[in-house]
Structure 1
Amino acid sequence: MNDPTISWDYAREFMMRFLADGREHDWHEAYHLDLKWMRGEKEFAVNYRAPANDEVEQLTAGMTDEQRQRVYDHYAEEFERVAYGRMIGRIYDSLIASPEKTLELLDSALYESVYSRSANAQGEDWPDFVVPHFIIKNADDFFIHISDLALEKHRDRLVQIRGWIRYISDTPMEEVTSHVFKCLSCEATFDLPVIDASFVRQCPECKRKGPFVEMRKAEMKKFQEAIITENYEDVGTTPISLRVIFSNATLNKFAVGDRVIVIGILRQKQVERKDKSVYVTQVLEAISGEKEDVEDISITEDDVKRIEAIAKGDALEALAKMYAPEIVGLDTVKKAIVLQAVGGVEHRESMTKIRGNIHILLIGDPGLGKTQLLMANRHLAPKSLFVSEASAAGLTAAVVDVDGKKVMQAGVLVLANGGVACIDEFDKMKKEDRDAMHTAMEQGVIEKSKAGLRGSFKADTSILAAANPKYHRFDTSRSIADQIGLEDTILNRFDLIFFFVDQKKTRDVEYEKAARVISKPGVQDDGFLRKYIAYAKKIRPVLTDEIAAKIADFYAQTRSSNTEIAVNFRSLEAMKRICEASAKIRLSDKVEDADVEVMQSIYQAYLSGINYDMDTLSGITRKIRSLIDEISDILRARGKVSMEELKTLIPSFTEGQIRDAVDKMKMKGDVYEPRDGVIQGVQL
């Protein structure tokens, strides 16, 4: 089989035609090889069927000379396109077979062509001349998941990857790419990747040890090292990372947390361990790359019509039904998660940043759908990451080893910048790990110093977390504050907290719920919900003085009420953010009364959970709960007590109320009757 790799002469011939065609370039520094366009031109040339002479004669019969000439010109253009398409096809095939050699030839031909076009090239120096080069774009045909890359299959081949930048070196490093020396013993010239003749050990021609002289100064190439992890939604297993080398047009183009598409050549690299042993790894040498705008979702005219139609009605209700439809109920929680996806409006007061992100905590009994709600977020937020029981290093930043060098690698809060970080098993995290999140939750930045390294990362991320109560399940007869098991400092940073209590209902209610679960139809996600969120998220509604006064009034009423978790100015900002998010969902450029009503209904659901509305949750009223607490105190002091004594010791309650409280304590196993009319505490 013939080698499809092009020759130098062919590269020069192609370059003359390519530049005459006026293809896209960046100020004569980077010229674009659009592989999608190249493949299309190649296919046109391969499939083109030239018309026979009699077909042309039959077509032009009866035409005027002018009309006939237009037909001839059309065919002439097609013939020219076919000839050029065949040339493009050769280049395309050469890139597949030998990308490095092909690009070197094309870059050399490009350098010669561009430089020779300048008047400055006529025997004069051109100090400001920037060496041009090719970059590749639209290489979807070469896309491979990072986890599917294999040296035995893809080594020295062109590949395209997608993923997140977890780490990238701050200051570009330099390496020697060309340094020519001359051996004075045999007059041979050769190049080596060293920068000083004293480092040359042996002439490759005569094998002598010199002497050597420098013929041409070393050419240095700047580069950046990066670690890219494949997108979570692209794989069904643990995402794999790949080391990438950026240079030329890709230098200083990306930052930690960026979601990117990179095209390059897969290389094999030997790495030496500390014990001097060597292992082989794969590295991608980037040719070109671009940021992938996760919010730049393709929205058609039909999508816009559908979005605007939904916005005219109760949009929040409609969108909440689309979110996690496999979970029956929890409508208020779903609405809150939809509002979180669009967020409020970020602004600054003096030098202080006031976040627009909405943070939500789901806490309650296991098996009620908390984890499912978190995992469903990937269908809602354009940039959503899910983790379980993460550490501070995994959430913020960690020091890792890259080829024997310590570097700081970004965590989930950084990688989800601009999106939502879904954190399951939040209660299982260590306190110091949760403490590390404080600044990120309020200011959207992570500052970290460790092992002599310092890093500053942007983490403008909303948090959706799920946790279990301190004792695994909620005890409906005890104060909720005693069962959360999370610090006030972290709780205070959540805009909304929803409580999940596994409570038994009547048979009819339980039957209706079970029937809905069993009979619910399968829902196919067509991506519309994400499109709606992306469309609404760009709106920045304003707050009028009238609406601000209504929010302030609701805040004042809430703060003056008796709640077990503090309501403070952070709560006021949360109320404002929820109103702004509601306006975005309605596609409105200003916050209105309807948005305040949405905020009040969601906030009331949040506050009812905090205040433990036991009439709703368990049938134990607040008054009976206080009676249970008094009986418990008496039993702790006396060990056991008779019902008659209780009526004397607690005269403010009726005999019926005392009997009701004792029955509930017996049902929970907190007390028992050693003999009739006497109760005794169990482990009180």
Structure 2
Amino acid sequence: MVGQLCSIKGVVTRTSQVRPELVVGVFRCNDCGTESQPVLQPFHYTEPPACRDPECENKNRFQLVPSHPQTRFGDWQKVRLQEDANNIPAGCVPRTMELIARNDAVEVAKPGDRVIAVGCPIVVPEVAKLLSQSHRREVQREMSGVQRAQQEAQQEMEGATGLRALGVRELNYRMCFLATTITDANGDDRKMTEAVKDSADGAAERAHVRLTPAELEKVQLMRSHDNLLKALTECVAPNIFKHDVVKLGLLLQMVGGVSKSTLEQIGLRGDINVCIVGDPSTAKSRFLKWVASNVSRGVYTSGKASTASGLTATVTRDADTGDRTIEAGALMLSDRGVCCIDEFDKMEVKDQVAIHEAMEQQTISIAKAGIKATLSARTSLLAAMNPIGGKYDRRKPLQKNVAMTAPIMSRFDLMFVIVDESNDDADYAIADQLLRLHRFGDRAVRPPFSPEDFQLYLRYTRSLTPRLKEESVQLIVSAYRDMRLQDSLSNRSKVYRVTTRLLESIIRLSEAVAKLYMSEDVRPAHVEVALELMRQSLSTLDMTEVELVGTLDPFEIASEGVKKEPLEEQWGQQQQQQQQEMRQGKTKEQSTAARRKRGKAAAAAVAAAAPAPRKAVISADHYFGIVNRIVARLQSLGEASPPSRAELVTWYMEQVRSLNKSQLEAELRYVNLVIQKMLKDGNLLEVEVQDGEGEKIFLDPNYNPDVTQQ
């Protein structure tokens, strides 16, 4: 293989600085002034063995003539290439190879790039380890005569040049790869430096997406899908059953928002950070591995085996030159990509603190060993973690279930909680899909788009830069104000704080949705999708429940968070089945008397089941939100003008009039059930006044909202 043309593929882990190299040198004799023939420099500074003049006996006193036309210099750079994780043989660690890039091949690859290098393997002597510090040739000023005489006196061999200066020693060799060209392994043959020569917003990399007419036509055809968002979501980890909300969040993370910079050159990140908290065996690691293998610069690592230096960057010493260089960590290797950290809860607190800057400012600052630098880490973070104790406790808020500080929690745009619940239908569906995967492999799941088309669509949509419209801005501001108000009145403040970072998260999610629809503007419909995803993400954070028992007539629940009892579901299914039989009938020849008989039997069954009391389960966050509004209203009115139940309900509905029709109907029933529960618990008192105005609602003087929320 040595000296043969071949290609190798791997991931760039470290690059050195670009240094000048003497390729061919012409030397002048210091005694007679005769110029030598061009001397090749085989990876070591080599002088001519003797002067060309037969009468001159000089063998070691030469001076380089840099201005000579035949003296040629070139650039060179050392690149460390690591074997791709997908191509590692069983039971082996990733192998590394040092690449020597020259001339046009320098500054082409950056740490984290997956590249293909074309060249030939060569054998290089390890001269640096054998030469002492005084013998190393470096670029320096011209020495005086005394210094030259001292150096010549120290030399053991007269006229030794090149490798012969080492004397009789055991010489070791190592393999290197002399690269002639370095290209992107993802199929883009352009020089990757063209993508870095722009401002910090990263628009250069996205502007160089080149599609052929056939590829552009395919993208437009995919855009015309009837239900585009659902089809793209089904292409995310298709082998994982359900979890559509989590898949939509990962899809938006892979697309990302639009990076911006202010007039003060302060960067506003467009990358989306996602955290998945779940019980064991809920496919968290499979989500992370799928994302890491389906993005251009994806890095997968485990929090248990990662340190702060391994995630950010560390300072190492070069074995050849002795200079200190910066070794890229996982976040730098995934620059403009996704960094997937599994077992995030197993990380030390000091290691979690190290990624604060990278998650928000998207930079890594280093001040070690005389090196002070600020490096780019424009990456999206995808973290997965288990709850404390291995099982998510519904009776506790999110902060009591995870080992994570509040600053890191606020830096995640989306947080999902996956609970392993026992459900016959879900268990059967999961088992059926797993068995089909084992039997048929990839044929068991057929997503709407092929993986190649899906990657092509994502690569194109990432290059778009939609802009916010005025209607979208007003909708985002209104939604943010409502969230802040709900946060101040509800129990969510103990679970997840609504801060300004949440507002920026809504903007990024809205831009990502607009990208998926290939829109030039962020429209209100895109904002609605982002807000719905944000609400579902926040609703999963507080999974504590409050059971409401009322005597209202049965009704259909139109909003999220309310669960029906099994008895009610059975009764509802029975009623629907009976009504369907009454409409269709078994045969056309059935008599009117027989149909009337079945109708009476169905009515009797409905009458027998109807008196059952209504039971509904509502989230604690929603429950305390209604309670706090009611308490604040009663405290503002005081005991002088207490409201009736109808007046209190009417006032509450005025406060939530921004909801749609179905949500208003459900909220009307919620507030009645909450008032009834508060009356039953003794938090409210319903007293009939003497002037004949009916019953009025009073707040219990001993009511303590803090004790109630606990």
Q: Secondary structure of 2:272's partner?
A: coil
For 1:475, the equivalent position in structure 2 comes to 393
Per-residue displacement from partner, 1:191-223 (whole Å, max 9, x unpaired)? Answer: 5869999998989999x9945553863645442
CA distance in 2, matches of 1:358, 1:573: 10
Per-residue displacement from partner, 1:444-502 (whole Å, max 9, x unpaired)? Answer: 22221222334433221111111111222212222221121111111111100001111
CA distance in 1, matches of 2:428, 2:19: 65
Would you say 1:417 and 2:335 are equivalent positions? yes
Counterpart contact for 1:183–1:212, Cα < 8 Å: no
Residue pairs, 1:326-337, within 5 angstroms: 326-337=239-250
Q: Secondary structure of 1:610's partner?
A: coil
Q: Secondary structure of 1:325's partner?
A: coil
Would you say 1:590 and 2:541 are equivalent positions? no
Deviation at 1:592, TM superposition (A): 1.6
CA distance in 1, matches of 2:75, 2:210: 36
Would you say 1:396 and 2:312 are equivalent positions? yes
Residue pairs, 1:59-70, within 5 angstroms: none
For 1:317, the equivalent position in structure 2 comes to 230
For 1:369, the equivalent position in structure 2 comes to 283
CA distance in 2, matches of 1:194, 1:331: 60
Amino acid paired to 2:177: L
Per-residue displacement from partner, 1:112-143 (whole Å, max 9, x unpaired)? Answer: xxxxxxxxxxxxxxxxxxxxxxxxxxxxxxxx
CA distance in 2, matches of 1:391, 1:454: 20
Deviation at 1:543, TM superposition (A): 0.6
User: Which deviates more from structure 2 when the two are superposed, residues 558-567 or residues 395-404?
Assistant: 395-404
Amino acid paired to 1:172: R
CA distance in 2, matches of 1:401, 1:551: 50
- TM-score of the pair, normalised by structure 2: 0.59
- TM-score of the pair, normalised by structure 1: 0.61
Q: Secondary structure of 2:270's partner?
A: coil
- When residues 511 and 248 of structure 1 are mapped into structure 2, their CA distance, relative to the original with a 3 A threshold, is closer
Would you say 1:241 and 2:96 are equivalent positions? yes
Deviation at 1:176, TM superposition (A): 6.4
Amino acid paired to 1:450: K
From 119, 125, 140, the counterpart of 1:264: 119
- When residues 449 and 234 of structure 1 are mapped into structure 2, their CA distance, relative to the original with a 3 A threshold, is farther
Per-residue displacement from partner, 1:543-568 (whole Å, max 9, x unpaired)? Answer: 11111110111111112223211111
User: Which deviates more from structure 2 when the two are superposed, residues 568-577 or residues 252-261?
Assistant: 252-261
Deviation at 1:571, TM superposition (A): 0.5
For 1:612, the equivalent position in structure 2 comes to 543
User: Which deviates more from structure 2 when the two are superposed, residues 353-362 or residues 437-446?
Assistant: 437-446
CA distance in 1, matches of 2:380, 2:43: 49
From 195, 202, 226, the counterpart of 2:79: 226
- When residues 211 and 376 of structure 1 are mapped into structure 2, their CA distance, relative to the original with a 3 A threshold, is closer
CA distance in 2, matches of 1:504, 1:196: 70
Q: Secondary structure of 1:223's partner?
A: strand
Counterpart contact for 2:276–2:384, Cα < 8 Å: yes
Amino acid paired to 2:256: G
Counterpart contact for 1:197–1:214, Cα < 8 Å: no
Counterpart contact for 1:341–1:380, Cα < 8 Å: no
For 2:62, the equivalent position in structure 1 comes to 214
Q: Secondary structure of 2:483's partner?
A: helix
From 167, 173, 178, the counterpart of 2:14: 167
From 240, 251, 258, the counterpart of 1:345: 258
From 567, 574, 580, the counterpart of 2:511: 580
- When residues 308 and 625 of structure 1 are mapped into structure 2, their CA distance, relative to the original with a 3 A threshold, is closer
Per-residue displacement from partner, 1:311-358 (whole Å, max 9, x unpaired)? Answer: 333212101111111100100110111111111111123322111111
For 1:515, the equivalent position in structure 2 comes to 432
For 1:148, the equivalent position in structure 2 comes to none
CA distance in 2, matches of 1:196, 1:342: 48
From 266, 270, 273, the counterpart of 1:356: 270
- When residues 385 and 298 of structure 1 are mapped into structure 2, their CA distance, relative to the original with a 3 A threshold, is farther
For 1:556, the equivalent position in structure 2 comes to 481
Deviation at 1:408, TM superposition (A): 1.1
Amino acid paired to 2:247: K
For 1:461, the equivalent position in structure 2 comes to 379
Q: Secondary structure of 1:538's partner?
A: coil
Residue pairs, 1:105-184, within 5 angstroms: 154-175=1-22, 177-180=24-27
The unaligned stretches of length 5 or more in structure 1 are 1-153, 628-650, 656-684
For 2:675, the equivalent position in structure 1 comes to none
Deviation at 1:539, TM superposition (A): 1.5
Amino acid paired to 1:472: G
- When residues 482 and 526 of structure 1 are mapped into structure 2, their CA distance, relative to the original with a 3 A threshold, is closer
Would you say 1:441 and 2:334 are equivalent positions? no
Deviation at 1:269, TM superposition (A): 2.4
For 1:281, the equivalent position in structure 2 comes to 174
CA distance in 1, matches of 2:353, 2:57: 62
Counterpart contact for 2:279–2:392, Cα < 8 Å: yes
Residue pairs, 1:537-556, within 5 angstroms: 537-556=462-481
Amino acid paired to 1:318: A
CA distance in 2, matches of 1:372, 1:610: 22
- When residues 281 and 454 of structure 1 are mapped into structure 2, their CA distance, relative to the original with a 3 A threshold, is farther
CA distance in 1, matches of 2:101, 2:88: 25
CA distance in 2, matches of 1:340, 1:574: 11
- When residues 194 and 273 of structure 1 are mapped into structure 2, their CA distance, relative to the original with a 3 A threshold, is closer
Counterpart contact for 2:394–2:544, Cα < 8 Å: no
Counterpart contact for 1:445–1:456, Cα < 8 Å: yes
CA distance in 1, matches of 2:213, 2:45: 66
Amino acid paired to 2:253: Q
- When residues 194 and 542 of structure 1 are mapped into structure 2, their CA distance, relative to the original with a 3 A threshold, is closer
CA distance in 2, matches of 1:357, 1:516: 33
Counterpart contact for 1:181–1:197, Cα < 8 Å: no
Amino acid paired to 1:353: G
Counterpart contact for 1:179–1:195, Cα < 8 Å: no
Q: Secondary structure of 1:366's partner?
A: coil
User: Which deviates more from structure 2 when the two are superposed, residues 446-455 or residues 228-237?
Assistant: 228-237
User: Which deviates more from structure 2 when the two are superposed, residues 306-315 or residues 527-536?
Assistant: 306-315
Query: Identity percentage over the alignment?
Result: 26
CA distance in 2, matches of 1:598, 1:608: 15
Counterpart contact for 2:112–2:333, Cα < 8 Å: yes
User: Which deviates more from structure 2 when the two are superposed, residues 401-410 or residues 527-536?
Assistant: 401-410
For 1:41, the equivalent position in structure 2 comes to none
Amino acid paired to 2:255: V
Counterpart contact for 2:544–2:620, Cα < 8 Å: no
Deviation at 1:533, TM superposition (A): 0.5
For 2:579, the equivalent position in structure 1 comes to none
For 2:457, the equivalent position in structure 1 comes to 532
CA distance in 2, matches of 1:433, 1:624: 32
Amino acid paired to 1:464: L
CA distance in 1, matches of 2:81, 2:434: 41
